[in-house]
């Protein structure tokens, strides 16, 4: 009988603790996406000085309905080499979080790819590499050729197959894919 009472008591306690645990009326905190990359800024600085050109895509609502906003600050000069730097930000947080650091820390698991449309007279080369000597690509160079226009696409792959020869055999998951209309004059 004593046991029975104990069991009943235990059951009732359990019932109540469970029933009450979620009863507090406090509003839940919002979740700010920690990993999301909202902004990519590519800064192209001409070798030997001059005005840097920035290519920027910003998608503040992530996979929400608003379209990403893409801006290109100016045209590239012909036959010039530019040092390129990529900066990734999460602007849903305040202050904005720099995701570039994370990507560079995990260099073995990331790689940027640059896709140049056939009409655009331009070549790219990696200038930073991961721990195994495979390309990482947050730093790179662009060498422009004759005047032309076309599309330059930046793709960031997470956990690609490394080494690879190009985007199509790299596998992995796309974290960034953004295209810019570029003019060389």
Which of 77, 106, 128, 141 contacts other proteins by CB under 8 A?
106
Candidates 54-62, 74-82, 130-138, 140-148: pick the segment binding other proteins (CB under 8 A). Answer: 54-62
Output the smallest distance, CB 153 to other proteins, in A.
Answer: 4
Least distance from other proteins to the Cβ atom of residue 147, Å: 20
Question: Which segment (62-70, 72-80, 125-133, 141-149) binds other proteins by CB under 8 A?
Answer: 62-70
What is the separation of C-alpha 135 from the centre of its chain, rounded to a whole number of angstroms? Answer: 16
Per rule CB under 8 A, is residue 102 in the interface with other proteins?
A: yes
Stretch that binds other proteins, among 42-50, 99-107, 122-130, 136-144 (CB under 8 A): 99-107
Write out the DSSP string of 82-95. EEEEEEEEETTSSS
The alpha carbon dihedral of 67, 40, 184, 49 has a sign of positive
Residues in the interface with other proteins (CB under 8 A) total 59
Place of tokens 């590239």: 76
Q: Is 136 in the site for other proteins (CB under 8 A)?
A: no
Sheet holding 148-158, edge to edge: 110-116, 148-158, 173-184
The closest of 113, 85, 129, 96 to 174, measured between CA atoms, is 113
Question: CA quadruple 62, 63, 64, 69: dihedral positive or negative?
Answer: positive
Measured from the Cβ of residue 182, the count of other Cβ atoms closer than 10 Å reads: 22
Q: How far is the CB of 3 from other proteins (least distance, A)?
A: 12
Dist. CA 9–CA 59, nearest whole Å: 55
139 binds other proteins (CB under 8 A): no
With tokens 């331009």, the residue in question is: 122
Chain residues that interact with other proteins, rule: CB under 8 A: 11, 14-15, 18-19, 21-22, 27-35, 37-40, 57-68, 92, 94, 99, 102-103, 105-106, 109, 115, 117-118, 151, 153, 158-159, 161, 166-168, 171, 173-179
């Amino acid at each position: 009988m004593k046991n029975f009472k104990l069991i009943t008591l235990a059951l009732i306690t359990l019932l109540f603790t469970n029933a009450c645990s979620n009863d507090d009326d406090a509003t839940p905190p919002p979740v700010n996406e920690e990993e999301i990359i909202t902004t990519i800024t590519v800064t192209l600085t001409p070798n030997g000085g001059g005005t840097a050109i920035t290519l920027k895509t910003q998608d503040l609502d992530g996979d929400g309905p608003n379209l990403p906003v893409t801006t290109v600050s100016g045209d590239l000069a012909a036959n010039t080499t530019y040092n390129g730097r990529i900066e990734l930000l999460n602007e849903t947080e305040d202050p904005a979080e720099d995701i570039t650091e994370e990507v560079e820390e995990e260099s073995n698991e990331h790689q940027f790819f640059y896709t140049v449309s056939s009409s655009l007279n331009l070549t790219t080369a990696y200038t930073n590499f991961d721990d195994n000597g495979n390309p990482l690509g947050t730093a790179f160079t662009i060498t422009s050729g004759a005047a032309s226009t076309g599309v330059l696409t930046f793709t960031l792959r997470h956990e690609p197959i490394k080494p690879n020869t190009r985007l199509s055999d790299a596998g992995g998951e796309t974290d960034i894919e953004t295209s810019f209309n570029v003019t060389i004059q």
